[in-house]
Amino acid sequence: MTSLRRLIALFVVALAGPHTAAALDIAPIAGTAACVFDSANPLCATHDWNDDAAVTAADIPGYLRFTAVAPDEIRVSENAAAVTLRSHVATARLDKVTGNLTLGNAAGTGLTNAGVPSLKIGNSAEPLQHLRDVQHTARGIALTADAGTLTVEWSVEFPTARSVRTRLRPAAGAQITRVVSTVSAAPGEHFYGLTERTVDNRGPSEIAPGAGGSLDRRGETVTMVVTPTISLYTPFFHSSRGYGAYVEGTMTGTYDVAKTDSAIVKMDFEFNRRTNEHSLVYFVGDHDAILDDYTALTGRPFVPPRWGFRHLRWRDEHHIDTPAQLDGVEMNADLVNDITMYEALDIPPGNYEFDRPWTSGDSPPSPFISGYAGFASFTFDPERFPNTDKMLAALTQRGYHIFVFGAPWALGEFAADAHQFGYYAPRSSILIDYTNPAAAAWWAVKVQTLVDRGISGIKLDRSEFDMTELPDAVPNRATDIFADGRNGREMINGYTIDYARVHYNAFADKLMSTDFVHYLRAGYAGSQQYGIFWGGDSTGRNTFGIGEPTDLGLRAAIVQLARVAFMGFPIWGSDTGGYYQFGDRDVFARWIEFSAFCPLMEIGGGNQGGGQHAPWSMPPDGEPDAEMIDIYRRFVTLHHELVPLFYSLAIEAHASGRPLARPLVFDFPDDPTVGNLFDEFLLGHDLLFAPLWHVGDRVRDVHLPAGEWIDYWEPSHRIDGPATITAPAPLGRIPLYVRAGGILPLDVHSDVNGNGSKPLSEGRLTLDVYPPSGTAFTLHEDEGDSTFHVTHSDGCAPPAPCEQWTIEIAGRPRGYIVRLLVDSVSDVALDGTSLPRVDSFAGLESSESGWFFDASAGRVWAKFTTSGTSSGLIVGR
């Protein structure tokens, strides 16, 4: 028998129409007890009302009334025991006696129970009690409570349909030091996000990395204090039960993630006496929905220009040495080595960064800051970089975009103004106070001179409040008052946001566009608006790069990529090989493989232990390694070929916060195998990669989730998931799988990876199509979107082929190469006109259009140019 609830749902959908999201308010017959509806008791006259359910009560004599909760409507109902707030997708029920808040989804299913907050006053913790004076507001409620002898205003509101904000405002002048909030932790519940650092300790997370840390944060204590050098932090986590929690503001805090009490997550934060409020936002939904609302609140992620996704080559230091010649001009020998080796080894140019020290001058002598080369100006050091203008022109002519190192320090030629006009942060003679509008404007003018030199972005380093970064003073006290009124306790985590903002605005104002990229080491909630991120001083050795080789730095980098996917930082990469020079070639090879699928692929670092983070100069003796050269070239090239995919995903990330690369649990939350799996990822919707990190491994287990998956390296090998397989992984082969039905857009310029060639592919978009049919992909570009839809037909209408694949293309006119996996081909037609068949790959290169079937690979190649905004390619067999 069909349940009444289902009939009600069908009835309301019929009334509301297919495009109206709705939850139901259902009212019992007047004069009866409230009830739960089921098929055995359709009019329920005696059952107790369940206030947590999605069904609520009203009164029309003899009838039931059904009304939909509109998408932007918040309903509040109240009885003696509780107040319930409801949107069309979420519920929040506040118990008026205990102060506990139950967060639920649209069906009323409880997601977590938030305990009543406690305020720390002196040495005592005072929970809110005596809840009273409940007032209904436009989107929730406001009420009064007591914390000991203190009166507190407390509000619970829905800022959006999927988010619930709780805010505490104590009476003015209250001597509150901290606020403690808790949520329940169910058995088996996972918690994601918070920090990229693998464990909450600088030693075993970066200096001498250990094997600790995974994707799930359960069982950890996490300190919310931005700390060098693995410095991405957000007071924000996701739960596997379908909600997220974010502590607003930048005050420091600590998370006890079900460590002390396995049933409780505790959030213990400093109270901000300046603003005199403390707020926490809960988000309801899947991981996509949570990040969408979180980034709508804290800022949408920055979208780099398309060229920003090409790999970046850098050195920790370009040495002062005998110059070498490039284009007949004497230049820095390290730079010339990089550029000439790239050209000799057929490695595509990308982006190039000059790290510290690249500038002229030095800081003035003082007990604290002498000897800090590279912070004193924005002028290239002529001794280190002779013929600077010609050097920069040579890079630009070869297609490189140029980056330089930057820090928030005013030393050298900047110091006099900073001292005279009061541009320094409190107690500091180094750190700029970017909250001072005059200081920010003054610094922006300095920064904009880099744009005039053709610089395309800055590596924004050193913004953490730590003695290792600020050797004279750390302005982190409550008495350190910055220009905008914030104090040092707020700026510990907040400074890095302002640092990024000022540099973003400087370039954007000068260029009148966002055709630049800043990449940052440190970040907090909101930093994602201003740049992309790298993972700090990861290492290929233990103990500051002078110890024994280790593969645990690579393991840590893989964990970091998994972590940041949940933190609102969608574009991330790491120092390939480690900032501290790797000591094992396996580590370098596997790190290159991994970095190729990270949105930011950057290769460089220190030269501790010999070598140059380059396959032509391997440690310990600086000798070339032919196998490593091949791996470096192939994976740098593959990363460049994936740029259309990276860029399209970045545009999606800006709209929704969705990370480009993410661990499998993000897309497959119901797969029990992946809840704590940190080393398998999806890039976009269709490409699964599983990096290796352990030295000596040549196979690894790979879990393939539900669906059919195609081995990228051996496309004839198809696997039905869910399944865990043992994947071959010789050095230079990362396990890589494409979801059946996937479409990969590629920008191919060479034959290095067998994805095309320069004469065939350059200037054309390559579409790698992996049947079956019924799939679609939308490519986002500056010129507009293009959509590709694949269908399959077994119908036969002679003389047409009896089986055919159709690829419908909607988008701007352009040249294409389409590669489709198929057993055999009889004809390929574009918009009803057959393309000429050629007998070889070389024949296709020299043709204006045509197709070639590679029987050995089971793949057809089609070359054509569309003339309109809608075309259809038909492949028949």
Overall average pLDDT of the 623-636 stretch: 98
Confidence of residue 827 (pLDDT cuts 50, 70, 90): very high
Q: Write out the DSSP string of 775-806.
A: EEEEE--TT--EEEEEEEE----TTS-SSEEE
Assigned token pair, 513: 């566009």
Distance between CA atoms of 103 and 265, rounded to whole angstroms? 15
Per-residue pLDDT tens digits for 483-494: 999 999 999 999
Say what the pLDDT of residue 370 is: 53
Distance between CA atoms of 177 and 196, rounded to whole angstroms? 27
The strand pair at 602-603 and 575-576 is best described as parallel
Say what the pLDDT of residue 51 is: 37
Distance between CA atoms of 468 and 464, rounded to whole angstroms? 9
370 vs 656, residue with greater confidence: 656
Say what the pLDDT of residue 364 is: 56
Say what the pLDDT of residue 17 is: 37
Specify the DSSP element, H or E, that contains 843. helix 841-846
Burial classification of residue 508, based on how many CB atoms lie within 10 Å of its CB (0-12 exposed, 13-18 middle, 19 or more buried): middle
Question: Is the pTM higher than 0.85?
Answer: yes
4 vs 201, residue with greater confidence: 201
CA angle 352, 358, 362 (to 5 degrees): 165
Do residues 536 and 572 touch, judged by C-beta distance below 8 A? no
Distance between CA atoms of 527 and 517, rounded to whole angstroms? 13
Phi, psi of 298 (to 5 degrees): -100, -10
| Mean pLDDT for all residues in the chain | 91
Q: What residues contact 68, with CB distance under 8 A and at least 6 apart?
A: 12, 15, 16, 20, 22, 23, 24, 88
Do residues 371 and 411 touch, judged by C-beta distance below 8 A? no
Do residues 297 and 289 touch, judged by C-beta distance below 8 A? no
Q: What share of the chain is helix, strand, coil (3-state, %, to 5)?
A: 20, 35, 45
Tell me: pLDDT of 30 over 50.
no
Closest CA to 121 of 151, 165, 98: 151
Confidence of residue 363 (pLDDT cuts 50, 70, 90): low
Whether the bond into 301 is cis, omega within 30 of 0? no
Say what the pLDDT of residue 35 is: 32
Q: Write out the DSSP string of 122-170.
A: TTEEEE-EEEEEEEEETTEEEEEEEETTEEEEEEEEEEETTEEEEEEEE
Per-residue pLDDT tens digits for 234-277: 999 999 999 999 999 999 999 999 999 999 999 999 999 999 99
304 vs 66, residue with greater confidence: 304
Specify the DSSP element, H or E, that contains 183. strand 176-184
Confidence of residue 10 (pLDDT cuts 50, 70, 90): very low
Distance between CA atoms of 647 and 650, rounded to whole angstroms? 5
| Strand extents, DSSP E, 461-531 | 519-520, 522-523
How many Cβ atoms are within 10 Å of 200's Cβ, its own excluded?
21
Say what the pLDDT of residue 686 is: 97
Q: In which order are the strands placed within the sheet that holds 833-834? A: 775-779, 786-793, 804-810, 870-876, 827-830, 833-834
Phi, psi of 595 (to 5 degrees): -65, -25
Tell me: pLDDT of 40 over 60.
no
* Torsion sign over Cα 67, 68, 74, 76: positive
Say what the pLDDT of residue 799 is: 60
Whether the bond into 229 is cis, omega within 30 of 0? yes
- The single residue listed with the structure tokens 């004193």 is 376
Rounded alpha-carbon distances, angstroms, from residue 840 to 99, 846, 853: 75, 10, 8
Q: Write out the DSSP string of 697-731.
A: --EEEEEEEEEEEEESSSTT-EEEEEEEEEEE--T
Tell me: pLDDT of 62 over 60.
no
Confidence of residue 44 (pLDDT cuts 50, 70, 90): very low
Tell me: pLDDT of 571 over 70.
yes
Collapsing DSSP states into helix, strand and coil, what is residue 623?
A: strand
Q: What residues contact 775, with CB distance under 8 A and at least 6 apart?
A: 741, 742, 743, 789, 790
Distance between CA atoms of 302 and 402, rounded to whole angstroms? 19
Report the largest interatomic distance among the alpha carbons of the chain, rounded to a whole angstrom. 97
Do residues 379 and 663 touch, judged by C-beta distance below 8 A? no
Assigned token pair, 687: 């490409």
Say what the pLDDT of residue 458 is: 99
Q: What residues contact 31, with CB distance under 8 A and at least 6 apart?
A: 59, 61
Tell me: pLDDT of 588 over 60.
yes
209 vs 711, residue with greater confidence: 711
Q: Write out the DSSP string of 635-646.
A: HHHHHHHTHHHH
Per-residue pLDDT tens digits for 722-732: 999 999 999 99
Per-residue pLDDT tens digits for 466-506: 988 888 899 999 999 999 999 999 999 999 999 999 999 99
All structural domains of the chain? 313-623 (3.20.20.80), 661-739 (2.60.40.1180), 743-876 (2.60.40.1180)
Phi, psi of 355 (to 5 degrees): -90, 180
Rounded alpha-carbon distances, angstroms, from residue 652 to 288, 409, 656, 703: 11, 35, 6, 26
